[in-house]
Structure 1
Amino acid sequence: MHRTVLALAIALAATALAPLHATDASGVQAMAQQELPQVIAWRRDIHQHPELSNREVRTSALVAQELKKLGLEVHTGIAHTGVVGLLKGDLPGPRLAIRADMDALPVTEEVNLPFASKAKGEYRGKTVGVMHACGHDAHTAMLLGMAQALAGMKKQLHGSVLFVFQPAEEGAPAGEEGGASLMLKEGLFRQFKPDAMFGMHVVSALNVGTVAVRPGPTMAGSDWFRMVVHGRQTHGAMPWNGVDPIVTAAEIISTAQTIVSRKLDIGTLPAVLSFGIVEGGSRYNIVPDKVELQGTLRTFDAGMRQQAIDNLKGIAEHLAAANGATVEEQIPVGDSNPVLVNDPALAARVKASIVTAIGAGHVIEAKPWMASEDFAYFAQKVPSVYFFVGATPVGQDASKAPANHSPKFFLDEGALKIGMASMLQASLDYLGTPRS
């Protein structure tokens, strides 16, 4: 992802809301400005009361309540705690879905805010701090603000807008389903049949006032892998009497680094293979009987993904055999997030809309981002675009800002106005709201 520092030079209109034109930047800026105080209030409330994946009970209740106030057709209980609001314009046109994720992370907040989270939750059998360390509070609040703005122009609105508030983007708890894939499995698109879908994400890697979008592969497909190397336990003073799984595990970790550097054509698209868990042994002078390895593979191409998986399996099996050990593999473990691919033609249209909203000097092309995002499941079904909104205060070096998922993650609330203006312009242009 670009870590670019750009000065914010956008004067957002504070005048009364005039009749909106699809290509009138002052119109969407005024809409965003009008909704901003309420959006900030929602965001702070949600931030102070974060909820983990599939546990977004309070958040979803707030969302449903606000959508009902607007007179939208509201559906709840989708994929556990998901909420959908349907706004039907009075004029004919396409159906656009816009998505926001609602869940927080098992992170203890370290930002000194008057509305900082002090919430606790249960995660993997432990009591943990809970924080909106990835900006989903902002996503939820912005989408509520956009619903309020668009509901106010129902008579002018062409087509319809499906506001999708998704749970469990960060991943459902062990043994549960959740997120975008479960919403689809439960019939979200079969019931509502959107023609296209938009989404956005706030990121600390960009300054407020900067929006990044790209056509094609945008966020990596993610695979979780697990291996257990089985040896034969023995005394650490007599390793020849056993089979050391630690040595084999170390060789697997080391040799696996050649997959990306020597096997994959990363001149075309990037890839990453990382080990995050190495567990084995119970005492300093005992060679254990097994070592467990877990890690992640990130790719942007199905062929590269399969090549990397095949190489990883081959390395593990051959090194284990050479050392007299065996290896048990799960590559991948469970479902994998697919590559998030922005529809090229639609991405070009969205980029042009965002340029209209905030100015060409504030819109950049995103590099492929190695993080994954389950919005990709939606993008597999309908033409979709996902873009990034800068969250780090202007004047600060965004390349040094605490990253998303950090306990020190900080969002400048100026990002809310930029995100709403960008998405409103893209949405109205897509729906074909005519000039008056």
Structure 2
Amino acid sequence: MTDNNAIKTIFANAIDGRIDEIKRISLDILNHPESGYREYRTSRLVADWFRTNGFHVQTDVAKTGVISTLETGRPGPHVVVMGELDALLVPKHLYADRETGAAHACGHHAQIGSMLTVAAGLLNESVNKNLAGKISFMATPAEEYIELEYRQTLVDNGEIEFFGGKQEFIKLGHFNDVDIAMLTHTGSELRGTLGIGGSNNGMVGKTIRYTGRAAHAGGSPHLGINSLNAAHLALAAIHAQRETFRDSDTVRVHPIITKGGSAVNSVPSDVRIETYVRASNVPAILRTSQKVDRAFRSGALATGSSVEIITTPGYLPAKYDSSLTELYSHNAASLIGDDNIIRLNHGTGCTDMGDVSQIVPAIQPSANATTGSGHGTDYRVDNYELAITKAGKAMGMTLIDLLSVDGEKARDIAGSFDAPMTIDDYLHRMRSFRSRDTYEE
């Protein structure tokens, strides 16, 4: 009978000899941030590491994604370990790109490190000879749902269909034979811990464009139609709806004006807004989306401008698998102690791991190895041992449990998973969120 503890020790020891190498790659990514569907340098760096280490590598998946595969040579389940390639736009972050403003203010560079850590340990023949099935390492683009106008141009040009990278991977068929998926995110809960369980909101995205009429702002404003005023009225109307949002639905609506006009002495005739509509469940997302659309239409009606509202599929609520969570928890505790494993509550942020969790058993534990506020100028990973090495070891040890003994544990978890939807159902649902409407007086 296979001694998993002995295999895990060999796995962990194999990683220990490559900690500095993997950390260097993570820091390289930190110092060269790229936003979603622009991660060309990051993608090459990751692909080159996998090629150098003998993996079968597929590049340019959903523009910039990478899939690297390790076949055990024995039939069994297919387990995926993921990391995200993209950065945010936080221009004042210490490690922001001076030209683009991109910055790893969400710790995705450490995710890639933890994914590579798993891969490095599995290269040891004494480890992988005891496993069955297939392991894929997916470096996915564009988890951060930003630059909506840019991504809409990619959709219009036929380069992508969905704004999120994992959504594209699902659409392209890369999850058709996947049985289990996992990814470790950095977090800012109790420092020094690994967080398990929890759930996340889902969302849709919206881009709004008000079109008015330009005129001299000082000399003849009466001849213009002020699109900025339309936007202000709409934002006020959204705020007036907030008391109707149920606490249990954890609704979040947070618009930004991305263009407020062209010149200060001209009545604004082209004003643009981006927003999310987030909630813990799909019915609440749809209800709130309708309220938000009415608010945007009200601004156009009041001022006489026209408004175009584009609603795009966002992310589905995340529901992480309890059986897989418990298996991971046991392995994580063996590394850092039971007292340093914490249970996560519902999070009102969103992730495209939510989409994955709707079709296969999935987990997204958090490595609480940071300081500062997530997505803020002060967010830093300051404990790379936890964020990369221990996070990677915990995932890898879980993978060993899943794929040893002919993949029995993975088969059990996948077999007992009651998927909320099939992949076909998922794609139909996501496409149903999309709309593009123009309203005029």
Coarse TM-score class (shorter-chain normalised): 0.7 to 0.9
Cα distance, 1:21 vs structure 2? 1.9
Contact 2:203/2:276, CA 8 A, preserved across alignment: no
| Aligned 8 A contact 1:20 1:27 in 2 | no
Give the aligned length.
391
**Structure 2 residue aligned with 1:162, among 129, 136, 142?**
136
* Amino acid corresponding to residue 40 of structure 2 in structure 1: V
Residues of 2 paired with 1:96 and 1:236: CA distance?
A: 64
Alpha-carbon distance, 1:185 to partner: 2.9
The answer to which structure has the higher helix fraction is: 2
**Quick check: 1:202 aligned with 2:186?**
yes
Contact 2:8–2:400 under 8 Å retained in 1: no
Query: 2: distance between equivalents of 1:361 and 1:319?
Result: 53
Which of 227, 245, 254 matches 1:264? Answer: 245
Q: Report how far residue 308 of structure 1 moved.
A: 0.5
- Structure 2 partner of 1:406: 377
- The amino acid that maps onto 1:201 is H
Alpha-carbon shift at residue 270 of structure 1 (Å): 0.8
**Which residue does 1:218 correspond to in 2?**
200
Aligned partner (choices 319, 323, 329) of residue 341 of structure 1: 319
Shift of 1:316: 3.3
Give the direction of change, closer, same or farther, for the CA distance of 1:280–1:40 in structure 2 (3 Å limit): closer
1:102 to 2:85 alignment:
yes
CA contact (8 A) 1:235 1:287 kept: yes
Separation of aligned partners in 1, 2:91 and 2:69: 35
Q: For the residues of structure 1 that align with 2:345 and 2:138, how far apart are their CA atoms? A: 26
Q: Distance in 2 between matches of 1:53 and 1:308?
A: 27
Alignment match of 2:286 (pick from 303, 306, 319)? 306
Query: Residue 228 of structure 1: CA displacement?
Result: 1.7
Offset at residue 137 of structure 1 (A): 2.0
Task: Give the structure 1 partner of residue 106 of structure 2.
Answer: 134
CA distance in 1, matches of 2:89, 2:202: 23
Unaligned runs of 5+ in 2: 155-159, 409-441
2:229 touches 2:299 (CA, 8 Å); kept in 1? no
Native 8 Å contact 1:107 1:128 kept in 2: no
Distance 1:169 1:91 in 2: 33
Uncovered stretches (5+) of structure 1, i.e. residues with no partner? 1-18, 121-126, 393-397
Q: In 2, are the aligned partners of 1:313 and 1:329 still within 8 Å (CA)?
A: no
Alignment CA distance shift 1:263-1:72 (3 Å)? same
Q: RMSD over aligned Cα, in angstroms? A: 3.5
* Cα 1:106/1:264, change in 2 over 3 Å: closer
Give the Cα separation in 2 of the matches to 1:52 and 1:247.
Answer: 31
Structure-1 separation of matches of 2:257 and 2:282 = 25
Mark the CA change 1:359 to 1:32 in structure 2 (over 3 Å): closer, same or farther: farther
Return closer, same or farther for 1:53/1:247 CA change in 2, 3 Å cut-off. Answer: closer
Q: Residue 37 in 1 paired to residue 20 in 2?
A: yes
One-letter amino acid matched to 2:172? E
Does structure 1 conserve the Cα–Cα contact (< 8 Å) formed by 2:317 and 2:354?
yes
Aligned to 1:3: none
Q: Report the TM-score when normalising by structure 1.
A: 0.76
User: In the alignment, is the contact (CA less than 8 A) between 1:97 and 1:162 conserved in 2?
Assistant: yes
**What is the CA distance between 1:423 and its match in structure 2?**
1.2
Task: Classify 1:252/1:49 alpha carbon distance in 2 versus 1 (closer, same or farther; 3 Å).
Answer: closer
Q: Which residue pairs with 1:328 in the alignment?
A: 307
Q: Which gives a bigger RCO, structure 1 or 2 (Cα 8 Å, sep 6+)?
A: 1
Is the alpha carbon distance of 1:150 and 1:234 closer, same or farther for their aligned partners in structure 2, counting shifts above 3 Å? same
Q: CA–CA distance in 1 between the matches of 2:277 and 2:91?
A: 27
TM-score (norm 2): 0.75
Change in Cα spacing, 1:211 to 1:229, as seen in structure 2 (3 Å) is farther
Q: Which residue among 83, 102, 105 is the counterpart of 2:66?
A: 83
SS of the residue corresponding to residue 228 of structure 1 reads: strand
Shift of 1:251: 3.1
Classify 1:320/1:133 alpha carbon distance in 2 versus 1 (closer, same or farther; 3 Å): closer
CA contact (8 A) 2:204 2:285 kept: no
Percent identity, please: 22
Range that drifts further, 47-56 or 378-387: 47-56
